[in-house]
Structure 1
Amino acid sequence: MPHIAIARLWFEGNSFSPTPTLRAAFTGREWATGPGALAAQAGTATELGAAHAWLGAHPDWTATVLRCGAAQPGGPMEAALFDEWLAEVTAGLRAARPDGVYLSLHGACVTTDDPAADLTILRAVRAAVGPAVPVVASFDMHANIAPETATLLDGASAYRTYPHVDMAATATRALALLARALSGAPRLHSAIAKVPRVLHSFHMRDAGGPMADTWAEAAALQTGPVLDASLFGGFAWGDSPHAGPTAMVWAEDATAAEAAASRLATALTARIPDFAVTLPGPTEGLAMALAAPGGLVALLDPADNPLSGGIADTPGLLALLMEAGPPVETVFAFLHDPDAVAEAAAVGQGGVFDRALAGQVTAAFGPPVPFRGVVERLTDGRFINQGPMERGTLVNVGDTAVLRAGKLRVIVTSAKEAAVDPGFFALHGIDLAAVRLLADKGKNHFRAAFAPLCSAIVEADFPGPASLDLAALPFRHVPEAWRV
């Protein structure tokens, strides 16, 4: 009867965000231990949902569930909180003495004093359990993977989809590798091959393009001795010494692992030009969106996308809409501004709201935008994800307000959670069938639920923490030769 330990730290750090990620970002989303941490995710399309299902399907397995934490991407994680998580997990591992370990990690965690926090986790976990206990992990495909990872794990797998709708499937693959190790099978060989370049993630979607083509090659390699061939695009805004794309292969034969990893890294390298991206400017992007075929159209601000570590506070998109005075029903999603929500609640539904919005965290991306309108709706910010990404999970964006000025509605929230699910808009009483323009601080993940609903999706080049111009970023840890 195998007894395993489970721990999770799912966080992607944007090194160039002006604000660190503090405890509240985790406690407001996921910060739990014990069986309840899994039970809360039962039936959801998440890694912990998959772990709950795995244990249910394997009643001879038991588990100690250690600290499981997750937060939306953001500025570097507070170092003291990371140290607390790591100390709790390693102490729990030493006490539990598990037969095996499953880790749910993002792979692009940075803290205020550690640019390679996931590697720190793997080293500490290995030290806590010793060399004989198998340890496996699941990763986001935007992980910045260190070559040393191959020596610290006994198996791993990465998301195959972007938008990430296969989180549960990835965890299941990792747990299957753990089951193999616990069965007494010979230890797998791993090979990791890095591509020395930092790439934009715009063209990493699995629906088509250079990453999709390389994923097809990886899938074809998973035969015979190769049990898992994973690709990582890396996270360009995480200033890590291990940034950039990676091929990671787990195989029963060392030669097969090395050959497959080398082949995939070569394939990615050959496609580097295909990852280059150009976007229209804000004014051109708005014109393109309004000129699109009838129905719902989306104008996206990827530079302040919360799922790339944006702050949901930059003023560019809102200023554009206010200046243009959109001639069609328009919804802007969203601004993270607890003070604005409190002021809206104070004047009440139907009351006049007169206050500058955006640019509250920093003026680096532009000044605040004057706004005068009415409070159309107030909510408690709780909804269930309806779309394919993290389907079934409870989301809490804190108290929220919908503000209206003419044909423009602006959603303001007390907590920062990306507006990439139809449930977010249903919460705010918005019938998307009656909306022409949806202006969203989003990027590729937005497409998971909204590509089928939109006649066109236009991304434009706005200033923000995840800006298009990687060459302008003040990298400190990414090797200079790898920078754009």
Structure 2
Amino acid sequence: MKILIGSIIQESNTFSPVRSTMDDFYRHHWLMGEAVRGITTENELKGFLEAAGEEGVDTVPVLSANAVSSGMLTADAFREMKEVLRRRLQEAVREAGTVGGVYFALHGAMVAEGTDDTEAELAGIIRQTAGPGVPLVVSLDLHANVTRALVRQVDGLVGFRTYPHTDFYETGKRAARLLFAAVRGEIRPFVTMRKLPLIVPAENSQSTSGPFAELWMEAEKGEARGDSLVTSLFPMQPWLDIEEAGSTVVVVGDARRREDGVREAERLADLFWSLRKAFDVRLLSLEEMIGLVRSCSRAEREGPLVFSDSADSPSAGSTGDSNAVLKALLESGLHRSRSCLLTMVDPAAVDRAVEAGVGQELVLPLGYVSVGSAGSRFGLPLEVKGRVRRIGDGRFTLQGGYAKNTEAFMGRCAVFETGRVSVLLTERPTFSGDPAMYRSMGLEPLDADVVVVKSANQFRADYGKLARSIHILDTPGYSSANLKSLPFRRVNRPFYPLDDPDDWTEHPLYGRTKQRKEEETDGLF
């Protein structure tokens, strides 16, 4: 008896004009079959494989596919992904002979053109191929949009517990323990969920402090009482404009204590709802940023001021090409007196910098160049005079809490200096919240007065140790923390914070009674 394992991971932003294709997976991370065992990244699959080795469980790798966050996946790409998954699963089933169970790591917030709930479709293919009686456990990113359709396909859902995410590996191990116990017949797992009509800013949903930490403390108490085998909390990433959007509490319980598990999910959902306003985040205007930088003495070497331009975060699926912060620095004159680091996706500017060569001065139009971005309501390219300091191939290794040892790729890149501002220009978007990105191009964040990161919260895992202070900016972009500024059209209203309903239990889609009846129909009771 063998366990099939695999992963398909990408996070989507439906507001982004960019579309993702299969090439994004091929270029970033694409492994088939036995090659999966060679993973060095501290991710979910590695954790699962370690747990399997410790318990003497045989595994058959299916595939491991991962792409950088982006706009929606094209319909053609999703069709191809499903075909690849189905073919590889069929091959793995033949190799295994008898399939004892299946584990897959998915993200939970991947959206394709014409398909809001891609993970439910992927789980359906896995279920159909493996067979109806085979235990299936899926792990999800903490920012997943969990749906009833997905829950119907699985025997267990396990989410990350940390934000910034640092427990990829541990999540794989937790999923393994749950699946192995189900395969051995030690537990009879069932999954119950309670979905809420709310989203919260990613910038204030860290698991170490604040309302989300409080929620997790309560979840752990429920696990300790035995009301839940595994509880997962999913504050959905807020840049999905889809009909079945919302944050979710998921409880995996033992069928012998079914009512306890359902009550626990409802208890935590009520608490989550009661804390919704505590997630609101203080945003700093660009004018306030300039004032703060001016007020800080350069003689105080307590680390850099770190500003998050989270509205333009590539890891939230935004374009990464905003020049709003650079424009504010130049117009204020601070580029002459303060050393600043920032990043910008601009392939055309990289081309011109590479063509000019290191040491050359030139004028570059910078920013707002991605598909659908140029000339948008967010701004226009900014003419900047500067010097090319360095050129690179864009390959570097993430060193910190975010998928440690992952090989990252930002395409060809160049450091372009204007005054004391160093702009790291890249051909491709990538996670910019690890200091390794700057360091790979000879830029040391600890030596700067100001460091700008295009990341909502994940950057805190590393920059929290370096920064004098951290501030979230109120800037334009497709992943803004100012959620009311985003053009939501499809979410089911009332929906917090777009609306301010007092209660969730009578919501037309997510009401308590409605969700209970759905579970009764599914045979949960």
Q: Displacement of 1:289 after TM fit?
A: 4.1
Residues of 2 paired with 1:154 and 1:131: CA distance? 11
Structure 1 match to 2:474:
461
Structure 2 match to 1:429:
442
- Residue of 356, 363, 386 corresponding to 1:373: 386
Evaluate the alpha carbon distance shift between residue 453 and residue 413 of structure 1 in structure 2; reply closer, same or farther with a 3 A threshold. Answer: same
Residues of 1 paired with 2:267 and 2:411: CA distance? 47
The answer as to whether partners of 2:346 and 2:426 remain within 8 angstroms in 1 is: yes
TM-score (norm 1): 0.95
How do 1:289-304 and structure 2 match up within 5 A? 289-292=293-296, 294=300, 295-304=303-312
Q: Displacement of 1:222 after TM fit?
A: 0.8
How do 1:386-425 and structure 2 match up within 5 A? 386-425=399-438
Q: Displacement of 1:116 after TM fit?
A: 1.4
- Residue of 442, 449, 464 corresponding to 1:451: 464
**Letter aligned with residue 232 of structure 1:** F
**Letter aligned with residue 270 of structure 1:** S
Structure 2 match to 1:90:
86
Q: Displacement of 1:288 after TM fit?
A: 2.2
Paired residue secondary structure (1:374): strand
**Letter aligned with residue 422 of structure 1:** P
Residues of 2 paired with 1:289 and 1:170: CA distance? 39
Paired residue secondary structure (1:226): coil
Q: Displacement of 1:472 after TM fit?
A: 3.9
Residues of 2 paired with 1:291 and 1:157: CA distance? 46
Paired residue secondary structure (1:206): coil
Q: Displacement of 1:126 after TM fit?
A: 1.7
Tell me which moved more, 241-250 or 262-271: 241-250
Q: Displacement of 1:130 after TM fit?
A: 2.3
TM-score (norm 2): 0.88
Structure 2 match to 1:155:
156
Q: Displacement of 1:329 after TM fit?
A: 4.1
Paired residue secondary structure (2:494): helix
Tell me which moved more, 467-476 or 146-155: 467-476
Evaluate the alpha carbon distance shift between residue 95 and residue 442 of structure 1 in structure 2; reply closer, same or farther with a 3 A threshold. Answer: closer
Task: Indicate yes or no: 2:493 matched with 1:480.
Answer: yes
Residues of 1 paired with 2:276 and 2:463: CA distance? 28
The answer as to whether partners of 1:21 and 1:77 remain within 8 angstroms in 2 is: yes
RMSD of aligned Cα (Å): 1.7
- Residue of 347, 360, 363 corresponding to 2:356: 347
The answer as to whether partners of 1:313 and 1:360 remain within 8 angstroms in 2 is: yes
Q: Which runs of 4+ in 1 moved over 4 A?
A: none
**Letter aligned with residue 333 of structure 1:** L
Q: Displacement of 1:186 after TM fit?
A: 4.2
Q: Displacement of 1:54 after TM fit?
A: 2.9
**Letter aligned with residue 401 of structure 1:** A
| Superimposed CA distance per residue, residues 196-237 of structure 1 (whole angstroms, 9 cap, x where no aligned partner) | 222222221012111110011111111325210110001211
Structure 2 match to 1:54:
51
Evaluate the alpha carbon distance shift between residue 4 and residue 341 of structure 1 in structure 2; reply closer, same or farther with a 3 A threshold. Answer: same
Structure 1 match to 2:278:
274
Residues of 2 paired with 1:291 and 1:122: CA distance? 53
How do 1:124-143 and structure 2 match up within 5 A? 124-143=125-144
Unaligned runs of 5+ residues in structure 1 are: none
Structure 2 match to 1:37:
36
Structure 1 match to 2:506:
none
Evaluate the alpha carbon distance shift between residue 211 and residue 355 of structure 1 in structure 2; reply closer, same or farther with a 3 A threshold. Answer: same
Tell me which moved more, 227-236 or 122-131: 122-131
| Superimposed CA distance per residue, residues 293-321 of structure 1 (whole angstroms, 9 cap, x where no aligned partner) | 73311122110011211101122112112
Residues of 1 paired with 2:476 and 2:313: CA distance? 11
Structure 2 match to 1:248:
250
| Superimposed CA distance per residue, residues 54-102 of structure 1 (whole angstroms, 9 cap, x where no aligned partner) | 3433444131x22321112110012211221112212322343332111
The answer as to whether partners of 1:384 and 1:392 remain within 8 angstroms in 2 is: yes
The answer as to whether partners of 1:292 and 1:456 remain within 8 angstroms in 2 is: no
